[in-house]
């Protein structure tokens, strides 16, 4: 058995400027991250598996309105909530994924149930069939109104008013991107841009109240790795759009021989770069360290496909990384030997 057990979490990466963060909001976020880490660490301390630990961590992230997953999910262009989640077991390479779900209280639980069902003959389910499956497995189903939060709704209203057919990346934004993108491209089709819009309650869309994907990675006392990822997508995204979060190898990957990975950022770029698996492959086929591989993926390879964001990863030896190429990333870790959680928001 290993004494290197660790849980690492993220709550999204993006333009998180310290100058625009109130003391109260920062304290709230740090307290939330700490509470989630303590909850997941308790699972590991009590002999739980890495799968159980990442499921609990992501469940707690989904239940907190701060994060863009579960209860805090953003709205689509049809003012609906469509959520995605995935999970992977590094010991067996089994995985489960759900996407476009609207009535599953904790999508990560549905992903886990699918991973464990029927010897994993089905890895991914979407929409109503995913919801029906979750219900059949005893996963809690709620009315879609459960996911309504006023600030998320207002964000979508403002995105429609200010950004027309643009889908707003929840994890990032820049003040004059809308005008710039419109000048660069005279197209009317749905396009993804980054933008900062005040929503009237003191939080621009690119700052304190929205953060992209959430996720967790863990190494347990038995030497097994696991990863889990969950998201509500992008504000004003086209209904039916799927990002990297539920895609094994892009937003989530775990292999006991290498590492466990969960990502957050511009989903389409993470899909194109197959980020999560790429990191694992570097460890498997080269002599690179986890840190070297993570930095190459995030700072060298991802920008080549116009990608920004970050990831968390832990390897089979208990080494962990939390690289990102944005202004900040909500993140933290806790080893079973730690008394206090370690949480971070900004680049430094």
Residue 342 lies in a domain: yes
Residues annotated in a binding site for substrate = 241-244, 264-267
Is residue 348 very low, low, confident or very high in pLDDT (cuts 50, 70, 90)? confident
Given this model, what pLDDT does residue 227 score?
Answer: 98
Q: Say yes or no to pLDDT of 297 above 90.
A: yes
Residue 64 lies in a domain: yes
Residue 137 lies in a domain: yes
Torsion of CA 246, 285, 302, 311, to 10 degrees: 50
CATH number, domain of 104, equals 3.60.20.30
Share of the chain above pLDDT 70, in %: 85
Q: Report d(CA 318, CA 261) in Å as an integer.
A: 13
Residue 319 to residues 191, 218, 288, 300, Cα–Cα distance (Å): 38, 11, 13, 21
Of the residues 76, 103, 213, 263, only one is catalytic, namely: 213
Is residue 94 very low, low, confident or very high in pLDDT (cuts 50, 70, 90)? very high
What are the φ and ψ backbone dihedral angles of 227, each rounded to 5 degrees? -140, 155
Residue 53 lies in a domain: yes
Residues annotated in a binding site = 241-244, 264-267
Residue 308 lies in a domain: yes
Q: Report the chain's terminal Cα–Cα distance, integer Å.
A: 35
Range of 320's domain? Answer: 6-146+204-346
Q: What is the pLDDT of residues 188-199, one digit of tens each?
A: 333 344 444 444
Is residue 3 very low, low, confident or very high in pLDDT (cuts 50, 70, 90)? confident
- The total number of residues written for the chain in this structure: 348
Residue 259's SS3 state is: strand
Q: Beta strand 95-101 with 124-126: parallel, antiparallel or unpaired?
A: parallel
How many domains, in total, are found in the chain?
Answer: 1
Q: Say yes or no to pLDDT of 62 above 80.
A: yes
CB within 8 Å of 17: residues ≥ 6 apart: 207, 327, 328
pTM, two decimal places: 0.89
What are the φ and ψ backbone dihedral angles of 50, each rounded to 5 degrees? -60, -40
Residue 165 lies in a domain: no
Catalytic annotation present for 49: no
């Amino acid at each position: 058995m290993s004494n290197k057990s660790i849980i690492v979490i993220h709550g999204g990466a993006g333009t998180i400027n310290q100058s625009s963060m109130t003391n109260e909001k920062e304290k709230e976020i740090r307290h939330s991250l700490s509470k989630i880490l303590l909850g997941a660490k308790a699972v590991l301390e009590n002999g739980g598996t890495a799968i159980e630990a990442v499921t609990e961590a992501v469940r707690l992230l989904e239940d907190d309105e701060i994060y863009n997953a579960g209860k805090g999910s953003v709205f689509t262009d049809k003012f609906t909530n469509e959520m995605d989640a995935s999970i992977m077991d590094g010991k067996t390479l089994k995985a489960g994924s759900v996407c476009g779900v609207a009535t599953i209280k904790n999508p990560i639980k549905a992903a886990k149930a699918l991973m464990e069902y029927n010897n994993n003959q089905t890895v991914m389910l979407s929409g109503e069939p995913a919801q029906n499956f979750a219900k059949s497995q005893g996963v809690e189903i709620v009315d879609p109104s459960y996911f309504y939060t006023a600030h998320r709704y207002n964000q979508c209203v403002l995105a429609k008013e200010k950004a027309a057919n643009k889908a707003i990346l929840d994890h990032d934004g820049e003040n004059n991107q809308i005008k710039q993108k419109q000048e660069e491209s005279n197209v009317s089709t749905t396009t993804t841009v980054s933008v900062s819009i005040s929503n009237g309650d003191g939080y621009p869309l690119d700052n304190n109240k929205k953060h992209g994907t959430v996720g967790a990675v863990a190494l347990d006392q038995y030497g097994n790795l696991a990863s889990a990822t969950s998201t509500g997508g992008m504000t004003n995204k086209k209904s039916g759009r799927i990002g990297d979060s539920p895609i094994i190898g892009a937003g989530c990957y775990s292999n006991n021989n290498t590492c466990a990975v969960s990502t957050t950022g511009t989903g389409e770029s993470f899909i194109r770069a197959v980020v999560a698996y790429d990191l694992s492959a570097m460890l498997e086929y080269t002599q690179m360290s986890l840190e070297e591989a993570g930095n190459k993926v995030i700072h060298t390879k991802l920008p080549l496909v116009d990608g920004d964001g970050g990831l968390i990863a832990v390897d089979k030896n208990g080494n962990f990384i939390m690289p990102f190429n944005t202004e900040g990333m909500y993140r933290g870790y806790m080893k079973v030997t730690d008394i206090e959680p370690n949480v971070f928001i900004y680049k430094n």
